Amino acid sequence: MPDNQIYPLSADQVLLKGSILRNTEWCYGVACYTGHQTKVMKNSLKARVKKSKIELQTNTYIILIVAIQLTICALSALCNMIYTAKVKSTDSYIFYMFTEADYQVFFVSFFEWFILLQNFVSISLLVTLEMVKLFQAYFIENDWMLLDMEKDLAAKVNSSNLNEELGMISYIFSDKTGTLTQNIMEF
């Protein structure tokens, strides 16, 4: 084999990742198609976080409840500041100028109201939903009807995030022969 001979590479000479050579004493190897500029790396996307519809709705409701809670706290603190300033003032209320002490009353009152109304956001709701998902995962893994007898494999739950979405079909397609194809809902 001359050293200066050129050998072209084709799909027959390329070993894929994870391949194992057997019955071979030696071989030459060249790393090709590597790095961040390859087509595979450029087309790879970050893994999306999968969340169920119930989880997305719960997060939206919690943000809405926190916004309502902050609004109520601000209004209550403002009313408290005005009332405190009016009680202290002997002047006409219309022309009263708020002082720095009045704004301190506002901030202290705001956080007092925030602590008083902290039960608006029910953290126990999230804990309860997670516990329900945990029990559902337990029942899925221990369901004997989901057991594959030939391979002796049981269902395995890797993530409990999508329990609510199991079995939901978003689209059903049919070709000319009437063959049905189902498209599972994507997140």
From the list 3, 148, 152, 175, the catalytic residue is 175
The first and second tokens of residue 49, run together, are: 């976080």
| Distance between CA atoms of residues 89 and 83, nearest Å | 10
Q: CB of 69 within 8 A of CB of 114?
A: yes
SS3 string of 86-135? HHHCCCCCCCCCCCHHHHHHHHHHHHHHHHHCHHHCCHHHHHHHHHHHHH
- Give yes or no: 175 in active site: yes
CB atoms within 10 A of CB 164: 16
SS3 158: coil
What is the distance, to the nearest Å, from the Cα of residue 97 to the centroid of all Cα atoms in its chain?
A: 48
119, 18, 5: which is closest to 68 by C-alpha?
119
DSSP labels for 10-27?
Answer: -TTTPPPTT----S-S--
Residues with catalytic annotation?
A: 175
